[in-house]
Amino acid sequence: MTSTPSPAVPAGAVAAVVAAALAEDAPWGDVTSESLLPADARARAELRAREPGVLAGGAAAREAFAQAAALTGGSAAVHDLLPDGTRFAAGDVLARVEGTALAVLRAERVALNLLQHLSGVATLTARFVGEVAGTGARIADTRKTTPGLRALERAAVRAGGGRNHRWSLSDAVLVKDNHLAVLLAEGLDVTAALRAARERVPHTTVVEVEVDRLDQLDAVLAAGVDVVLLDNFALDDLAEGVRRARAAGALVEASGGVRLDTVRAIAATGVDVVSVGALTQNARTLDLGLDVEVLVGARTGTGS
């Protein structure tokens, strides 16, 4: 197993996601466990990978067990949790959990759901990053995230070696095709409108403009934008767009239907960034399991 530094996730975002998920999963408690098991029964379990991948979501898993312990009045400690960004093989133990059975079983599904989804995002991201190795292009996510999970999904992208795009609509000027359509419908000059937008925002705010045809590019570059986003361009047109943007001093981002089998050719045109909505939209959940090893009454003095 190999690992990269664990990406930070805002603690408040993790706690809020986990609290909502636990409330959804057991709004009136865990009827099965509470009616079947002794309140002082203990469980020891291993989180094990059933297929290879890249780990992400460790903070959410740890939080799920901590909150479940508080909800049940018990305990649940996570040990030997591998860092986010760790590459693992099928059969590897990713963490160990020990505590009261009611707490461990209350958290199990929520912890696994988040780990499986976020590790899927990290794993897919790592595949895209591997495809463009040596080209100089960076792989970035988009705002096509699951509502409520953006902070966690974007940390998973970083765990897979990718980069994050603007966090929200508040973070940067990104003029899309629909913005341009409104300008043209109003009879406004695109270059003048972009220059005016630049004047209205702080000097530290990045201005990026999406174009989907080469004939739109010159008017955009004339406004002195920081980044041009070339959307769904054929490779030859993409290379020409890179040439023109470079001459104007702008960075170039490519997007639109990017796949694992096409991303290297896109990167080879010289773009700086390839943004891939599939990282968070199409990632497959990984097969991870939490297998209880010991489930005995604490009164016996075993299993602790």
33, 106 Cβ separation under 8 angstroms:
yes
| Cα-Cα end-to-end distance for the chain | 28
Q: Which of 108, 151, 148, 135 is nearest to 290 (CA)?
A: 108
Q: Which of 34, 92, 231, 287 is catalytic?
A: 231
Amino acid at 208: E
Cα angle, residue 142 at apex, residues 231 and 205 outer, rounded to 5°: 90
Q: Which of 127, 163, 166, 176 is catalytic?
A: 176
Q: How many residues appear in the chain?
A: 304
Q: Which residues contact 131 (CB under 8 A, 6 or more apart)?
A: 260, 263, 264, 267
160, 124 Cβ separation under 8 angstroms:
yes
Cα angle, residue 20 at apex, residues 15 and 22 outer, rounded to 5°: 95
- Could you tell me where the DSSP H helices lie in 26-57? 31-36
- Could you tell me where the DSSP H helices lie in the chain? 11-25, 31-36, 58-72, 101-131, 150-159, 177-185, 190-200, 217-221, 235-248, 263-267, 278-281
Residue 215, classed as helix, strand or coil, is helix
Q: Which of 96, 144, 195, 244 is catalytic?
A: 144
Instruction: Identify the residue whose tokens are 């981002």.
Output: 253
Structure tokens at 219: 């008017």
Q: Which of 108, 210, 253, 272 is catalytic?
A: 210
Distance CA 272, CA 98 (A): 46
- In the residue annotation, 144 being an active-site residue is answered as yes
- In the residue annotation, 40 being an active-site residue is answered as no
Q: Which of 109, 138, 163, 244 is catalytic?
A: 109
The set of catalytic residues is 109, 144, 176, 210, 231
